[in-house]
Amino acid sequence: MQPKYKRILVKLSGESLMGDKNFGMDPAVISQYAHEIQAVTQAGVEVALVIGGGNIYRGMNEAETGIERAHGDYMGMLATVINGMALQAGLEKIGVYTRLQSAIKMEQVAEPYIRRRAIRHLQKGRVVIFGAGTGNPYFTTDTAGSLRAIEISADVILKGTRVDGVYTADPEKDPTATKYTTVSYQECLSKNLRIMDMTAFALCMENNLPIIVFDMNQPGNLKKVVMGEDVGTIIK
């Protein structure tokens, strides 16, 4: 059976790496994600990754911290590089070749982000991890994920979350919430379904890039999505 998607960008939140911890990262989660990604690469799919930094640093309220927004955003970008390095180590431990590219120059730990080089790595079967967001403050890692996915001509963005798709309301708070299997960009906007921030969402909508929201913590789900099985919610 052939995969439905040839080139994907997987967007993970930094919080997902915490597992049951309150801070930092859980080695068991990193190992699980690494094996999920390995299974997809073995199916011949080209994989890029964008990871948030919320498990290490959340852009906190300027009034509370005294840290101005732009300064705090750069701190968050550095946190995404730490997460990228952790997932890179997890992948290479099981024999998956990777490249970490950073939007902020840090030659000792990562390549600079160069679009053509990233595409070449993907063509050679390497997993490319994009760190440091877009390299600019005031943009989230959701926006970085959308931007990089468009730049590398990914077929789809796979947004791995704790829930198994998009619901009419928050399923953790509202037991009557029902799940969408497919939803249009317009419906997401009109019903204010918060899947990504508006900048990220607008980029996907303008470029007709589908988004699939699925539960990354369910073993085997990533491969099921890539093979075209009915997992999660597709926004298109």
Q: How confident is the model at residue 197 (pLDDT cuts 50, 70, 90)?
A: confident
Residue that is written with structure tokens 């470029």 in the block: 207
List the structure tokens of 81. 């590089």
Question: Is residue 2 assigned to a domain?
Answer: no
90 falls within a domain: yes
Q: Is 1 a domain residue? A: no
Q: Is the pLDDT of residue 59 over 70?
A: no
Residue 55 lies in a domain: yes
H-only helix segments in the chain = 27-42, 62-65, 69-93, 115-123, 141-151, 185-190, 198-206, 221-226
Residue 48, domain CATH:
3.40.1160.10
The answer to whether residue 38 is domain-embedded is yes
Dihedral class, residue 89 (left if φ above 0, else alpha if ψ from -120 to 50, else beta): alpha
* pLDDT confidence tier of residue 60, bands split at 50, 70 and 90: low
**Number of folded domains that form the chain:** 1
Angle, CA of 120, 13 and 234, to the nearest 5°? 75
Classify 191 as helix, strand or coil: coil
* CA dihedral (74, 75, 78, 84) positive or negative: negative
pLDDT per residue as tens digits for the range 23-53 = 899 999 999 999 999 999 999 999 999 999 9
Of 163, 212, 173, nearest in space to 15 by CA: 163
- Which pLDDT belongs to residue 25? 95
Half-sphere exposure of 178 (CA within 13 A, CB side): 4
Q: Determine the pLDDT at residue 228.
A: 95
Write the pLDDT tens digit of every residue in 80-137: 999 999 999 999 999 999 999 999 999 999 999 999 999 999 999 999 999 999 999 9
Q: For residue 11, is pLDDT > 90?
A: yes
Q: What is the CA radius of gyration of the chain?
A: 17
Question: Is 21 domain-assigned?
Answer: yes
Lowest mean pLDDT among 2-6, 52-56, 174-178: 174-178
pLDDT band at 209 (very low <50, low <70, confident <90, very high): very high
Q: Which residues of 83-121 are buried (b: 16+ CB within 10 A; e: fewer)?
A: bbbbbbebbeeeebebbbbbbbeeeeebbebeeeebbeb
- Assigned domain for 48 exists: yes
Residues 6+ apart with CB under 8 A from 108: none
Which residue type occupies 121? H
Which domain does 92 fall in, by range?
A: 7-235
Percent helix, strand and coil across the chain, each to the nearest 5: 40, 20, 45
Mean pLDDT for the stretch of residues 167-181: 86
pLDDT at 36 (0 to 100): 97
Whether residue 225 has pLDDT greater than 70: yes
The pTM is what? 0.95
Please, what is the Cα angle at 84 between 78 and 86, to 5 degrees?
110
